[in-house]
Amino acid sequence: MTTTNPGAHSGTRPDDARRHNRSALLRRLHVDGPCTRATLAGELGLNRSTIKSVVDGLAEAGVVSEAVPARRSGAGRPSLLVLPDPQAAVVLAVDIRVDQVALAMVGIGGQILGRHSWNLHRTTRLPGEVITHMAESADLLRDELGVTEHGVGVSVPGVVRRADGFVHEAPNLGWRDVGLGTRLAGVLGRPVQVANDAELGALAEHVRGAGRDAADMVYVSADVGVGGGVISGGRPLRGTGGYVGELGHLLVRPDGRECFCGAQGCWETEVGEPALCRALDLPEDTPRGVLVAELRALAAVPGRAEELLGDYAGWMAAGLVTVVNMLAPELVVLGDLFGALPPTVVDRVRAQVERRSLVSRAVGGTRVAVSPLGRDGALVGAAELAFEPVLGAV
């Protein structure tokens, strides 16, 4: 990560330059971990005296410390590592799923300090009940850890207006027109940011997952439905009002099943969780744990996964070919339930995308990877969402 020094530009006030340098240095430590002052100077484009001033100021405030590296190389005095204190700035990350809510207190550097979760059922999915339970769980985490969050990031499986966290629709939760951001901020007394779960999955992959080195990537995840998040030129692509990512409603099969949105043959009707259950000859309401265990068992039997999931892989590739042709990403990351697919099925999807996508052939093959973050992707993304304003204010 390279940041130019704003103090080098004429007209920049010293206080603004100091704030920028402080924020850039913290961001570098937060994303890429501890390093030496010399490394910070080189990567941030700052001179040594400026780095010394910023590090000393942060150390005096208790935000960073310096230590001798555990592994030393060469003779002479070792360079000290600058390390962020995880508890110097803490955020609350919340991942609201169809079947569960997970909360975590996360410190600088992405360290999860503590977490709580509980299951959701049809009778406990009402927005008011979820908000109350979130507030109670946040109180418990504060008491257990002895920390207080500076901001809150929330992931929701629905269409979210980024400006104020208004959930226009979260069909699998049964939510419609819920002022989640405003209501939760009032209860918690903290700034709250809310975003779509797949958008936050993309953010998580870009910062801490498979897409760290990808400037243009698409994250596609499956739960009951299918969603997507897009990183373009190193930044999230959000569109008007933040309503980007409803990739599950690409039309792939005009004669297919009716979707809840009113259309027929949407992509998620062919590759969402119910479709995967049907492909495996399981009831559509099979618990997630049972479904994942079935997929793992399937992967252990040579040829069986391709036999049962051949058509499923074809529909998955059909949607991804459209996504790749439209957005031309260098990387597609498969998350959540897609990440549990047997490797041979992912290989089949990858091969079909490379063969059938004009754009993929033109760029020499769009990479298709499985998320290393697993089920925590949206939670990690919610933390990063909350950290964006916090790191500039520490």
pLDDT tens digit string along 145-171?
999 999 999 999 999 998 899 999 998
Q: Are 215 and 243 in contact (CB under 8 A)?
A: no
At residue 53, the 3 state secondary structure works out as helix
Letter string b/e over residues 211-237, b meaning 16 or more CB atoms within 10 A of that residue's CB: beebebbbbbbbbbbbbbbbbbeeebb
State pLDDT tens for residues 303-361: 999 999 999 999 999 999 999 999 999 999 999 999 999 999 999 999 999 999 988 88
> CA dihedral in degrees (54, 60, 64, 67; nearest 10)?
100
> Which pLDDT does position 72 carry in this prediction?
61
Mean pLDDT of the 266-293 span = 94
For residue 80, the tally of other CB atoms under 10 A from its CB is 15
Average pLDDT over all residues of the chain = 91
Q: Which residue has the higher pLDDT, 123 or 297?
A: 297
Question: Is residue 69 very low, low, confident or very high in pLDDT (cuts 50, 70, 90)?
Answer: confident
- For the chain, domains (ranges, CATH) are 6-84 (1.10.10.10), 88-199+378-390 (3.30.420.40), 212-372 (3.30.420.40)
Q: Are 173 and 98 in contact (CB under 8 A)?
A: yes
